């Protein structure tokens, strides 16, 4: 399954581990809020809607951070911006440990969002431009699986701290640990000091439409809108589900923190497996078919998991397909979005489309909180997640297939479809 790793060269391997590690540490810091949410609500006296707002604000700022960092990486280089964003989100996570009320935590989480949104944008484009095209889908999806590694790390750290320390102390210590990812920048500097640090242009001039708003030029705006809607559905479903899942397990299923960690461990492991399987399918059946497959399975699994009267044992077994199918969509976005844009605006396009989803998706955790005031929390999560994944199905249907597309040319993919990656693509909605 990982045969591609033996076929890539040293530069590709070092870049892979830099991007994999950066994304795992990004996930570690981001997921700290989700696993500590029950304790934070008690510590600051937060209602569900207030807690949802704190979860949403970081998604909004991460969208802005990703768009801006993507544009900066087009101008100043992928590696330099990758390093800066890792340091930023690590420092902001550390400062969350000293929050004294919900307002302070909201502000710090907003600042943190700028960093973790930018990290994905810079890292995904760096990896896409360094890796050879026949392995791009596999490698970028495998990098996405690092989210499960960081997510699992957050659950383990908090489970241990909650067992060893009083609840009002454990979450503060956990956020303080969030400073450690900043040390990873030292590895990035050693592994790829100059490799891939400049945008790949294939020897061609940068497009005249480059810049922060280049993705809205006359030939690109339709592609950008459809891809952004895809990102919105992917993020909306994921965050509606995963932001509130620990609370759902604790309040409606009456599971302890450690038992909740056990249930999450199943889902997290399944998420990693889903990324790995998606990695293989991306370069076999293509980007569109892979996303459609996982989106349909997500809608079905979420409905079963949250709407049927399942026992705890049945929920444990269904936790695996829930995490597995939730992984396939985000695992596909890195390759697809990179292949939609030419070099001069690739960072901007990838950063905007992926992170616009975070702005639009930010409303889903908040909406779950509001809906849960008039209905069971599980039902609110299920309705929101199912709607979001349905949006994914519609959006990806309108995008072209880009499997095997070279990234060393400046011609743009436009909307109307042919499968030949050597020819500009057009999508059916033109």
pLDDT in tens, 63-119: 788 888 888 888 888 888 888 888 898 899 899 999 898 889 999 998 988 887 888
Q: Is the pLDDT of residue 248 over 90?
A: no
Banded pLDDT at 290 (limits 50, 70, 90): very high
Report how far Cα 161 is from the mean position of its chain's Cα atoms: 26
Banded pLDDT at 195 (limits 50, 70, 90): very low
CB 369 within 8 A of CB 179: no
Identify the weakest region by mean pLDDT among 58-62, 182-186, 414-418: 414-418
pLDDT at 261: 60
Banded pLDDT at 160 (limits 50, 70, 90): confident
Kindly state the percentage of the chain with pLDDT values over 70: 86
Closest CA to 282 of 198, 234, 339: 339
- Supply 329's token pair: 């969509």
Distance (Å) of CA 377 to CA 29, 49, 233, 306, 384: 25, 12, 20, 9, 11
Question: Which tops the pLDDT comparison, 43 or 191?
Answer: 43
pLDDT at 194: 55
Question: Which tops the pLDDT comparison, 341 or 305?
Answer: 341
Contacts of 313 (CB under 8 A, 6+ apart): none
Cβ neighbour number for residue 101 with a 10 Å cutoff = 11
Distance (Å) of CA 319 to CA 202, 265, 267, 313: 45, 9, 5, 10
pLDDT at 263: 66
Mean model confidence pLDDT for the chain:
80
Closest CA to 291 of 213, 367, 352, 234: 234
Q: Mean pLDDT, to the nearest integer, of 237-259?
A: 70
Distance (Å) of CA 367 to CA 15, 149, 205, 250, 306: 38, 28, 45, 20, 17
For every residue of 1-37, DSSP letters joined together read: --HHHHHS-HHHHHHHHHHHHHHHHHHHHHHHHHHHH
Cβ neighbour number for residue 100 with a 10 Å cutoff = 9
Identify the weakest region by mean pLDDT among 169-178, 204-213, 300-309: 204-213
Identify the weakest region by mean pLDDT among 162-166, 197-201, 209-213, 252-256: 197-201
Closest CA to 151 of 258, 332, 16, 23: 23
Q: Is the pLDDT of residue 359 over 80?
A: no
CB 61 within 8 A of CB 114: yes
Report how far Cα 350 is from the mean position of its chain's Cα atoms: 12
Cβ neighbour number for residue 366 with a 10 Å cutoff = 24
pLDDT tens track for 304-339: 877 777 777 777 677 788 778 888 888 899 889 999
Q: Mean pLDDT, to the nearest integer, of 2-15?
A: 87
pLDDT tens track for 370-397: 888 888 888 888 888 888 888 899 999 8
Kindly state the percentage of the chain with pLDDT values over 90: 10
Cα(405)–Cα(239) distance, integer angstroms: 30
Helices (H), 308-376: 312-340, 343-371
pLDDT at 260: 57
- Helices 102-130 and 78-96 pack at an angle, to 10 degrees, of 160
- Supply 425's token pair: 């693509």
Q: Is the pLDDT of residue 350 over 80?
A: yes
Cα(33)–Cα(41) distance, integer angstroms: 11
Domains in the chain: ranges and CATH:
10-190+211-397 (1.20.1250.20)
Q: Is the pLDDT of residue 183 over 70?
A: yes
Element (H, E) at 301: helix 287-307
- Supply 134's token pair: 């026949």
Banded pLDDT at 210 (limits 50, 70, 90): low
Q: Mean pLDDT, to the nearest integer, of 47-60?
A: 78
Cα dihedral angle (160, 164, 166, 172), rounded to 10 degrees? -50
Tokens 């945008």, located at residue: 199
pLDDT at 172: 92
Closest CA to 71 of 360, 410, 350: 350
Cβ neighbour number for residue 179 with a 10 Å cutoff = 17
pLDDT at 292: 92
Contacts of 200 (CB under 8 A, 6+ apart): 129, 343, 407, 408
pLDDT at 140: 92
Q: Mean pLDDT, to the nearest integer, of 189-204?
A: 53
Cα(350)–Cα(200) distance, integer angstroms: 14
Contacts of 255 (CB under 8 A, 6+ apart): 249, 263, 312
Question: Which tops the pLDDT comparison, 252 or 423?
Answer: 252
Cα(141)–Cα(330) distance, integer angstroms: 8
CB 332 within 8 A of CB 282: yes
């Amino acid at each position: 399954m990982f045969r591609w790793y033996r076929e890539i060269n040293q530069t590709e391997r070092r870049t892979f581990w830099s991007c994999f590690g950066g994304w795992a540490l990004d996930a570690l810091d981001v997921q700290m809020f989700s696993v500590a949410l029950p304790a934070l609500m008690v510590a600051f006296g937060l209602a569900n809607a207030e807690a949802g707002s704190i979860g949403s604000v970081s998604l909004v700022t991460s969208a802005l951070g990703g768009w801006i960092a993507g544009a900066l990486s087009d101008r100043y280089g992928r590696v330099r911006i990758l390093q800066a964003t890792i340091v930023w989100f690590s420092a902001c996570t550390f400062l969350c440990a000293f929050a004294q009320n919900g307002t302070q935590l909201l502000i710090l989480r907003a600042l943190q969002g700028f960093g973790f949104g930018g990290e994905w944008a810079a890292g995904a484009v760096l990896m896409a431009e360094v890796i050879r095209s026949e392995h791009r889908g596999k490698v970028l999806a495998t990098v996405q699986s690092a989210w499960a590694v960081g997510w699992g790390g957050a659950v383990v750290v908090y489970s241990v701290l909650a067992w060893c320390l009083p609840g009002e102390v454990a979450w503060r210590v956990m956020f303080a640990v969030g400073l450690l990812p900043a040390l990873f920048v030292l590895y990035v500097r050693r592994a790829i000091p100059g490799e891939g640090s400049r945008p790949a242009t294939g020897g061609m001039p940068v497009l005249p439409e480059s810049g922060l708003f280049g993705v809205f030029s006359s030939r690109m705006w339709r592609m950008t809108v459809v891809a952004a809607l895809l990102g919105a559905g992917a993020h909306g479903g994921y965050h509606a589900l995963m932001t509130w899942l620990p609370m759902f397990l604790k309040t409606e299923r009456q599971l302890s923190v450690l038992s909740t960690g056990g249930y999450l461990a199943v889902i997290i492991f399944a998420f990693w497996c889903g990324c790995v399987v998606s990695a293989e399918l991306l370069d076999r059946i293509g980007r569109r078919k892979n996303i459609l497959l996982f989106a349909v399975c997500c809608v079905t699994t979420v409905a079963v998991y949250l709407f049927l009267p399942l026992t705890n044992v049945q929920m444990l077994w269904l936790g695996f397909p829930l995490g597995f199918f939730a992984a396939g969509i985000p695992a596909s976005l890195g390759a697809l979005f990179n292949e939609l844009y030419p070099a001069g605006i690739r960072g901007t396009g990838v950063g905007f489309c992926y992170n616009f989803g975070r702005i639009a998706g930010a409303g889903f955790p908040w909406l779950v909180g509001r809906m849960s005031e008039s209905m069971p929390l599980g039902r609110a999560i299920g309705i929101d997640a199912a709607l979001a994944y349905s949006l994914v199905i519609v959006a990806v249907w309108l995008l072209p297939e880009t499997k095997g597309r070279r990234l060393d040319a400046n011609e743009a993919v436009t909307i109307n479809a042919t499968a030949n990656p050597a020819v500009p693509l057009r999508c059916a909605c033109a």
